[in-house]
Structure formats: structure tokens, C-alpha cells
Amino acid sequence: MIGIYLCDDDSAARLRIQGILERKIMIEDYDMSIVCSASAPDLLLDAAAGRGGKRGIYFLDVDLRDDTWDGFLLGQEIRRLDPHATLVYITGYGELACRTFQYHLEVFDYIVKDPARLEESVSRCLEAIQARLAAEQRDPEDIFTLRTGDTLRHIPLGDILFFETAPTPHHVLLHTAGCRVDFLGSLNELEQRLGGRFLRVHRAYLVAADRIEEVDLKRNRLKVGGRECLVSRAGKAVLRRKLAGEV
């Protein structure tokens, strides 16, 4: 179970955030619990140290009224105790990225103390953390990683319907039920990389073998995820070998 820690010297704000988190955990049945809700940084650090470096999620106020600690110094000390900690800062200000860089802190999210949007912001943050934790637990071999611009995306292989050559030279389109992603690559490289899970049924299509729903060899078409892909003469031979259990 992942422990959640809160530190905010504004008791009313802290208790409200605590209540939002507790409701979200209960409704979604997340494997999380609040192990410390403190107004003083020393209390939170004692609780974190007592867990022996076990990974935690930390919601920290930036402007702590403390002679020793502010939120960033506290984040540094938490990183020493818990190197894999997930840090979320709670603040009355919207721009904090530059200050976190100064302290060499990797911060998951910032939550602005806007009473009208606090519940939505905290809930969405916890959903995103849960999704990150779930992704980390997957076998890396079951994740397809690609780069689009400056962003790395991680897509479960089980969600991919097919790859298709893109109109842009040296680009590929990845199709899932809910999205289409354009990235730099080639079907030849993908075919070698993904092995028998995907079949090269046409020079322009590499399809997920277990997602094929219908094959029409007379029309040189097949359906995967409700979408049509072309089948070449060589692709027909690949499909026949697959049906015969040879690939």
C-alpha cells in the first residue's frame, strides 16, 4: 500500500485536501492510505523516516510558516529519505517551475489553492498518480514506447490495432481504438521488433494478430478493431501460415 503524506500549516486547507483524498481513495478503491497529515514539517519527516524509505506520495504546501523549512527544502529532505517519492506542491501561486529547478526537484504536479477547483484538481492529480503507478508495474515488454516531438509516449501493446505507413516519408501511423499517433519509424523495423504479435499483411500495414476480426481474401481486406486494412498476396500467405499455427 502506498502511503500519502500531507504538510500544510493551514489546518482548514489541509483537512479539506485530506477529505478529498480519502473520498477518492474509497470510491476508486486505490491501494493507498493517508499515513500522515501534519501542520509541521518535522512531524511529516518523522513519519516518512519511520517507513524506512518506503515509497510515498507527498502533498506539500510551499509557504510553510516554519523557521527551518519551506516546501522546497522539505522536498529536498524527502528526496533523501524517499528517492522515489511522488511530490505534489500546494500553492496560492500558479508559477513555481523555476524554483523547483533551482532545488533540483522532480515534481509531479502543482495544485493551486482555488476553493472552486480544489476538489477537481486534487482528484485529477490522484488519478494521474494512480495511472503512473499502474504503468510502472507493467512488464516493459508489454509497452510500446515512441517519441512524438519532445514527448515520449508509452502505449500498451494490447491497445494497438495496427501500424500503417504515413503520408509523410519515414513516418508511421499507430492506431488504437481511441487515437492515431504519427511518429518517425518504418514498418520493417517494427516488424522485426514486435515479432509474432503483429503480422505484415501488406507493405503498408502491420496488424495485431489477436485483434483481427474478419478476413476477406477475395476482396484483399481484413478488419481489425472495426477498421479495414489491405492484404497483399504475400500477406495472404502470412495469414494462412498463422491460421495453420506456423507463425
Burial class (CB in 10 A: 0-12, 13-18, 19+), 11: exposed
* Per-residue pLDDT tens over the stretch 97-126: 455 555 567 788 888 888 899 999 999 999
What Rg, from alpha-carbon coordinates, does the chain have? 24
> What is the pLDDT at residue 231?
96
Q: Inform me whether the pLDDT recorded for 24 exceeds 60.
A: yes
* Per-residue pLDDT tens over the stretch 37-74: 999 999 999 999 998 878 999 999 988 888 899 888 99
Q: Strand, helix or coil at 4?
A: strand
DSSP letter at 50 equals: T
99's enclosing H/E stretch is helix 97-102
Nearest 10 degrees: CA dihedral of 20, 57, 107, 135? -100
For residue 151, CA distances in Å to 1, 98, 146, 154 come to 30, 20, 8, 10
Neighbours of 113 (CB within 10 A): 18
* Per-residue pLDDT tens over the stretch 167-224: 999 999 999 988 899 999 999 999 998 877 899 999 999 999 999 999 998 999 999 9
Q: At what angle do helices 118-137 and 11-28 cross, to 10 degrees?
A: 50
